[in-house]
Amino acid sequence: MASGTVDVPLEYVRLGLRFDRLEAGFVDAYTGEKRIRAEVESEPAPTPQGLRDQARALLRELDASGLPADRAGFVRGQLTGLECSARKMSGEPVGFLDEVRSYFQVDLTLGDPADYAAAHADLDALLPGEGGLAERYAAHRRREECPPQRLGEAVHALSSALRDRVRGRYGLPEAETVRYEVVTDKPWSGFNYYEGDYRSRVAINADLPHRLSQLPHLVAHESYPGHHTEHCRKERGLVERAGHLEHTVFLVNTPECLMAEGLADLGVDASIGAGWGPWAADVLGDLGLRFDGHLAERIAAAAAPLNRVRQDAAVLLHDRGADADEVVAYIQRWSLVSAERARQQLRFLTHPLWRAYITTYVEGYDLLHRWLAARPAGQDVADRFLRLLDEPLTPAVVTAELPAG
């Protein structure tokens, strides 16, 4: 326990739970004592201004908390994000770029259209035929779509295969389980609800078409070795063994989100690596679900630079004053998606709770991909990735570990 007059980790947990009373869904997961949550629920209704002041007070207490530097750095980053969220909730004007910096410890810049054009050229070479590139790309994606009635079956097959690899490579608690359910009317494609005690419920949005070559990334992201695996290992290591109370609550729009989403988006790289396309094609081929794994892997690599387009859209919308139609057209042009898909992305970018969250996928993946690639000579990818699963790393810490330049 902290040695100061205030138990900062405990008060941080209480503060995070209070945010969930103002915005349902702000607490992504809570695995701590039910008593603490019940006490918070019985308090007078919180106000944004009150939560802002509490976050600031805890930030002032950190230096005297007696926490080791890594724990203090983690909690400081989280509290900085919460303080900004409280200001946003109270109606204070907060610029979008400042909001992102406060939440996620990164600075945004717009992507380079020249990079997007080069990606288009690479895709054009991989998808020969008549018609424009967007039309051919859409046709390719349609050919890869999983029949909706087979979605659950495909997900379970990939989950089982990935679970076996992750168990062997990273280790999992014996009791861990994931159950999948299909949902509709959500602004995301998949979502992990971690329930504690090594259990997750993963919801998959059936409103969006799911491609066979995309499903291994979805399952790796949500379950093995992504969100579920990280939650399990941190619950066992940081919470149960080390007693770090701050890791019993997972809060939206904080630095831990950028770390978690970047980690999860690296899931296929960390569990399968090169050759993931043919690997996934073999797993799904056993179900009679067929796609060209070699081509899928090459197309995914070619399209990777287009990942930034979604973040550009958020900057244009919230920082540059572009209207919704302009942003939809931008997404369509560079991401090579339909107007319907672009508007689905816009729904996520305009959601009050999620509007800045796209950065966790774009900057999170970019930062952690560079960090994995910069591992010491002779260190295995799995050993490096294990640090992400087990340690309370922050974007600031990871950035500081990158080579200069």
Residue 320, token pair as written in the block:
């540059």
**CB-side exposure of 35: number of CA atoms within 13 Å?**
2
Question: What pLDDT sits at residue 353?
Answer: 87
Question: What pLDDT sits at residue 405?
Answer: 64
Question: What pLDDT sits at residue 208?
Answer: 81
Question: What pLDDT sits at residue 3?
Answer: 44
**Exposure pattern of 352-386 as b/e (b: 16+ CB <10 Å)?**
eebbbbbbbbbbbbbbbeebbeeeeeeeebbebbb
The C-alpha atoms of residue 92 and residue 90 are separated, in whole angstroms, by 6
Tell me the pLDDT of the chain (405 aa) as tens digits: 444 489 999 999 999 999 999 999 999 999 999 999 999 999 999 999 999 999 999 999 999 999 999 999 999 999 999 999 999 999 999 999 999 999 999 999 999 999 999 999 999 999 999 999 999 999 999 999 999 899 999 999 999 999 999 999 999 999 999 999 988 887 678 899 999 999 999 999 887 889 999 999 999 999 999 999 999 999 999 999 999 999 999 999 999 999 999 999 999 999 999 999 999 999 999 999 999 999 999 999 999 999 999 999 999 999 999 999 999 999 999 999 999 889 988 988 998 888 999 999 999 999 999 999 999 999 999 999 999 999 999 999 999 999 986
pTM value surpassing 0.75: yes
